Amino acid sequence: MSEVEVYIDQLKRRVIELEKENNLLKEQMEKVASEREEYLQNVSHQLVAPLNAIKWHIENLTGARVGYDRGIKVLRSVYAQATLAVHLAKNFNLMSNLEADHALTKLKEPLQEINLCQLLINLADDFQPLAWDRDIEISVLKDLFEQAPPILAMKPLISQVFSNIIENAVKYSDSKTEIVIEGKYVPSTDSVVVSIRNRGVSLDSNHAKIVFDRGFRSPEAKRKYPAGTGFGLYIARRIIEIHEGTITAGTRNGWTVFEVTLSVKSLKGKARLRAN
Amino acid sequence: MQTKTILLIDDEQAFLEPLVDALEFEGYRTLKARTADEALEILKRERVDLVTIDIMLDPGESLKNHVDSHSTGLFLCEEITRKYPQIDAFCISVVSEMRTIRKIESLGIRFLRKGETPLRTVLNMLRSRLTGIAYSSERDRSY
């Protein structure tokens, strides 16, 4: 074989290799595109649902198809659906930011003191009308929670963590059940622990860790609510990580329990560092 | 005239609530099914004049291994047109995949998009289908 022939042979092999690589890349790109398409479809599905409900409720009110008493309830539903739409829009915004900037550095807001007990009471009030649609009561046990000191954190982000957990709890709870929110200060670790528990779609022990993975949805969750994106708990985990806290999921006596721990001291230290 | 019965197959309370308010105001009897197997059970035992079907839906325990929750509604459209050809059906959904919509329309089922279709239009279409009186789009503006 002449030198030129050897060279041509090498080139041919390289072309075949490149073609293979190219095909692999194409496949990967198609996979990403189809995942993205599914995500956007689910986002649109989730957002259209509350907006459609609001529009139709308003048509019933303006068309005088509901009486006064029912009208008050309809307005409550409109409020609940608007709450849901705002919550979802915030999530999608956070998700776009997370995709563009993994650490959410551009979103970093000043740390502010947050009374977690009050925040959770407000969120419970916000989601209660939605929960009532399925006879679910949300209660906040205040005794210990009220005594917990405030934490320093980025309020809009922390608020989204808890609203994601509560929204999930409402969605996946059985009708006529209770969602219980508790919190307490743990002096040994100088942290506040918040737990949110509900009964409904069970959490498989194999899923307890991966439930916070990007896009993860359990088969049962997918079957019951096909339009979910699997991003709510991922967003929650990312935000808690930024705050150097922990978030866990598990089951206890038939309850599905989500627990968030936020350290008081480390954030104070962080704030001092920033100030310096 | 006998009260007409409408079966609403959808798992979203938010969607059902205003629709039930409006249909009951119009004098219809409404039944609700949250899963495909629940819907098929109701159809076995109740006299139903019309159904509305969502696409993305929980198939339910007995169908969970056979039906993909992303296209449960399509399965239902096929089952209902085959088993209950006398029942009128509408599909009301957010799904915008043209392939799915074409399949549904090829079964003779009208597809209405959630979020874009005014409740008034839905009511007019259902009424027109149940009474046989032609539907006038003029009336849609009256709300």
Query: B50-53 and B5-9: which strand pairing?
Result: parallel
Substitution target in A42, A48, A56 with the highest count of B β-carbons within 10 Å is A56
| Residue A145 confidence (pLDDT) | 95
pLDDT digits (tens, 9 = 90+) for A105-162: 766 778 889 999 999 999 999 999 889 888 999 999 999 999 999 999 999 999 999 9
Cα–Cα dist A132/A113, whole Å: 31
pLDDT band at B109; cut points 50, 70, 90? very high
pLDDT digits (tens, 9 = 90+) for A2-13: 888 889 999 999
Cβ <8 Å between B56 and A74: no
The answer to whether residue B1 scores a pLDDT higher than 70 is no
Partners of B75 on chain A (C-beta within 8 Å) are none
DSSP result, chain A: --HHHHHHHHHHHHHHHHHHHHHHHHHHHHHHHHHHHHHHHHHHHHHHHHHHHHHHHHHHHHTT-S-HHHHHHHHHHHHHHHHHHHHHHHHHHHHHHHHH-TT-GGG----EEE-HHHHHHHHHHHHHHHHHTTT-EEEEE-TTGGGSPPEEE-HHHHHHHHHHHHHHHHHHBPTT-EEEEEEEEEGGGTEEEEEEEE-BS---TTHHHHTTSTT---HHHHHH-TT--S-HHHHHHHHHHHTT-EEEEEEETTEEEEEEEEEHHHHHHHHHHHH-
Please tell me the distance in Å from B114's CA to the nearest CA on chain A: 6
Tell whether B120 lies on the interface with A, counting CB pairs under 8 A.
Answer: yes
Tell whether A224 lies on the interface with B, counting CB pairs under 8 A.
Answer: yes
Cβ <8 Å between A55 and B19: no
Comparing CA positions, the residue from A53, A142, A46 lying closest to residue A87 is A46
Tell whether B17 lies on the interface with A, counting CB pairs under 8 A.
Answer: yes
The answer to whether residue B138 scores a pLDDT higher than 80 is no
Please tell me the distance in Å from A39's CA to the nearest CA on chain B: 13
Q: For residue B114, what are the contacts with CB-CB under 8 A and spacing of at least 6?
A: A48, A49, A52, B15, B92, B93, B94
Contact A125, A87 (CB under 8 A): no
The DSSP bridge partners found for residue A17 are none
pLDDT digits (tens, 9 = 90+) for A88-98: 998 888 888 88
Substitution target in B17, B62, B139, B143 with the highest count of A β-carbons within 10 Å is B17
DSSP B46: S
Cβ <8 Å between A49 and B114: yes
Please tell me the distance in Å from A57's CA to the nearest CA on chain B: 5
pLDDT digits (tens, 9 = 90+) for A160-213: 999 999 999 999 999 999 999 999 999 999 999 999 999 998 888 888 889 999
Which residue from A56, A81, A226 is facing B119, i.e. has the nearest CB? A56
CA distances from A187 to A112, A115, A118, A158, A270 (A): 21, 17, 20, 21, 19
Contact A134, A91 (CB under 8 A): no
pLDDT band at B143; cut points 50, 70, 90? very low
| Backbone φ and ψ of A152, nearest 5° | -105, 120
Q: What is the mean pLDDT of residues A262-268?
A: 73
Please tell me the distance in Å from B14's CA to the nearest CA on chain A: 6
The answer to whether residue A246 scores a pLDDT higher than 50 is yes
Partners of A63 on chain B (C-beta within 8 Å) are 22, 120, 143
The answer to whether residue B136 scores a pLDDT higher than 70 is no
CA closest to B27 among chain A residues: A65
Q: What is the mean pLDDT of residues B43-52?
A: 96
| Residue B80 confidence (pLDDT) | 96
Beta carbon pairs, A and B, within 8 Å: 89
Q: How far is C-alpha B91 from the geometric centre of its chain's CA atoms?
A: 5
pTM of the entire predicted model: 0.81
Cα–Cα dist A249/A205, whole Å: 9
Structure tokens, A13:
């092999």
pLDDT band at A276; cut points 50, 70, 90? very low
Query: Does the interface ipTM go beyond 0.95?
Result: no
Q: What is the mean pLDDT of residues A65-81?
A: 91
pLDDT band at A223; cut points 50, 70, 90? confident
